[in-house]
A and B are shown apart, each in its own frame.
Chain A
Amino acid sequence: MSLLHIQDLRVCYGGIVALDGISFEVAEHEIVTLIGANGAGKSTTLRAIMGLVPMESGSISYHGDKINGLDTQKIVGKGIVLVPEGRRVFANLTTLENLKLGAYLQSDKEEIESNLNRVYELFPRLKERHWQMAGTLSGGEQQMLAVGRALMAAPKLIMMDEPSLGLAPLVVKEIFSIIRRINEAGVTVLLIEQNANVALKTANRGYVLETGRITMTGSGQQLLSDERIKVAYLGKSR
């Protein structure tokens, strides 16, 4: 059974159709990516799953239970977290406070502490800078903090919105190797990216989203070698 199952999800923003009935699923322990151009509806999909935008119709189920219509904090409580686009760390809080906020719904102190240690292991840089205001971190460090903060919730499913946005190629490489490590530790990953190349290399499966519809699907390798994908998203000239 799939961990996350989206059926005919339709979202409109004041009359403009952003998602026109998309269906896809994510199985446990997978890395799945949604790729597509600007405005294809990638972010909207993740935001709809988190209950941040109202959906017109369709259903979202998680572990077989319907989660559409729940409050965002309830969805987080079920073990789904979103690393938002543009990192969105709390600039006025320290690195450590940001991480603690990620564990807002956790009550077991020891568990929080062990999660914190695990995050510090993945991102030693965050430990060095735990006292620093998050607004003063570099872009790459902020992205690490955003991912670390999400992991503090001990999620089963982590969704990431453009983790490579605005980062230097080396940092992008580092972030993606960490995504793989998180996945190896048993966390399911749903990733959306404009950087289709690196996303498809990392993911087990991918879906291609075009103006609110899913137009193609396959394993990461299949999509990587597909001629149409190469032309549209990987920058190969015709």
Chain B
Amino acid sequence: MSITTFLQHCLTGISLGGAYGLIAIGYTLVYGILRLINFAHGDIFMMAGYFMIFALASFPWPIAIVITLVITTVMGVVIERLAYKPLRSSPRMSIMISAIGVSYLLQNLATYLFTAIPRGYPEIPLLKRIFRIGELSASLVTLMTPVLTIILVALLILLVNKTKTGMAMRAASKDFETAKLMGININRVITVTFAIGSLLAGIGSILYFTDRMSVTPFSGTLPGLKCFVAAVFGGIGNIPGAVIGGFFIGIVETLLVALGYSTFSDAFTFLLLIVMLLVKPTGLFGEKTVEKV
């Protein structure tokens, strides 16, 4: 493999990784607050793909993007209200089973409404424009994805560390009850968390599907699981960790495909999960516990 081809594949991998990173944040945020693995997150990402297809059929692309993101965000919040909130004081396993149920519900709902035949993902000409840097060539979306990911993550970290809402989120992630005693409205914090997670999944969905051309009701399953692995790899609950995990998985996966091992590229992700859980279960940047009781 020449150096140019290698760099070309790296570029593709970084771009895929950026989209993974955005989705992985949704897992990590929700886990951080509710200690719930939101198995429906990948399917929210898939639904966002369909929303974009329909929105773009009748609106110009900037409006279609806004509509898609708004509907996706609302969907994430509504799912929490209907499927998770009533179970908040139940054992954690119940919410998790509910999340798995929502995942299958969304997949089957999409199959029922949109059939299982792949739907072409519309092209936004601007995003598909090809740029050349020396001998490398890439579409705008490929170049834009990692940059946008890093900007969004920086904004999110700023929100979490510097704002009042962020402080409430950090407090709630440690101790619900005491957070309530401070006057924090826990339901609001959880709503904000799901809204941010779903919004980022929506953005990730646009970036991801623009490069992949089609959506099926099961398009969310594998990326969803991979992003979950990314979140675990980075240390679940840790925002930068999730993004780094996303980039890592995206790059390695793309390089494996380039080397001709495409059969193993998915297996690698799950091998990574197993190895990580065996060697360092808290992930790369897992929560440190410096507590005095």
Contacts and interface: CB of A to CB of B under 8 A. Distances in A.
Interface of A: 50, 52, 71-73, 76-77, 81-82, 84, 86, 88, 90-93, 97, 100-102, 104-105, 133, 135-139, 142, 149, 153
Contacts, number: 71
Interface in B168-199: 168, 170-171, 173-175, 177-185
21 contacts: A50-B180, A52-B181, A71-B185, A73-B184, A76-B183, A81-B181, A82-B181, A88-B175, A88-B177, A90-B171, A91-B291, A93-B174, A100-B167, A101-B168, A101-B171, A101-B184, A135-B292, A136-B290, A138-B292, A142-B292, A149-B182
A52 B177 contact: yes
- Main SS of the interface on chain B? helix
Nearest to A139: B292
Nearest to A149: B182
Given A73-B185, A76-B183, A77-B183, A101 B167 contact: yes
B164 interface: yes
Contacts of B170: 90, 92-93, 97
Interface residues of B, number: 21
B177 to A, nearest CB: 6
Given A72-B180, A73-B185, A91 B164 contact: no
A104 B185 CA distance: 10
B288 to A, nearest CB: 9
B62 to A, nearest CB: 36
Contacts of A105: 183
B164 A104 contact: yes
Nearest to B168: A104
Contacts of B179: 101
Given A97-B167, A100-B167, A101-B167, A84 B177 contact: yes
